[in-house]
Amino acid sequence: MSLCIKNVHVSVEEKEIIRGVSLDIPKGEIHVLMGPNGSGKSTFSNALMSHPNYTITKGTITLDGQDITKENASKKAKAGLFLSMQYVPEIEGVSVTTFLRAVTQAKSGKKENPIAFYNSLKEKMSELGIDPAFAERSLNVGFSGGEKKRLEVLQLLILRPTYAILDETDSGLDVDALKIVAEGINAFHTKDTGILLITHYTRILQYIHPDRVHIVVDGRIVHSGGAELADVIEKKGYAEFIK
């Protein structure tokens, strides 16, 4: 069982950005997608989750054998796919608690007891070092970069998808926040979940240990290897992979 991405091409406003990317992420594994700025990493992640500005023109996405290529974001989420976006929206007037309870109910199709849900939410927030007062604040409004990233990981732990795509969840974090976010990702990771972690820095890999590392340049995967490939990037950068 895996998240299988086969020969995916993605265009934005008729310009091809992703040029035939294939990945197979089995349950229980963490794969890391790295590359320089502008290589297409965020385009790829948004397209996988059916963002309307990104068009998959070729290729397939299957989740545990189910073809979800053409499904909308809601159906992909219900099937078990999760995207933590690099830039999250701010929604005035919708509290964190209200939002998380709504998406949990939408995913499960069952009503959540408000008190039980809130107690569970407070427990998860405590694990991630999130001030309980944030539960009643408008979603991401006035949050620091680190707070927004912690909230993304909080959603991951509350929703418990099968496969998670984490787009630069480590960006803008100080060392303490980075450790907490990494601990949350590791808590999510089990033999029954798969993770695609997208980044262009290696520092989060001090706390998260990948099974495979892939280098993307100009919309193509140009090299794949084990965790040691991240060490090569740390020492030499991306220059040797850019032709």
pTM confidence score = 0.91
Percentage with pLDDT > 90 across the chain: 51
Q: Is there a single domain that holds both residue 58 and residue 176?
A: yes
Query: Is the pLDDT confidence value at 215 over 70?
Result: yes
pLDDT, tens digit, for every residue of 103-140? 888 888 888 888 888 888 888 888 887 888 888 888 88
Report the C-alpha gap between 220 and 16 in whole angstroms: 11
Q: Which of 96-105, 121-130, 154-163 has the lowest mean pLDDT?
A: 121-130
Same domain for 83 and 96, yes or no, is no
72 & 182 share domain? yes
Question: Do 81 and 13 have their domain in common?
Answer: yes
Note whether 16 and 31 are same-domain residues.
yes
Considering the domain architecture, whether residues 80 and 184 belong to the same structural domain is answered as yes
- For 34-55, how does the pLDDT look when each residue is reduced to its tens digit (9 = 90+)? 988 888 999 999 999 999 999 9
Q: What share of the chain is helix, strand, coil (3-state, %, to 5)?
A: 40, 30, 30
Q: Name the strand (E) or helix (H) holding 77.
A: helix 73-79
Give the pLDDT score at 176: 86
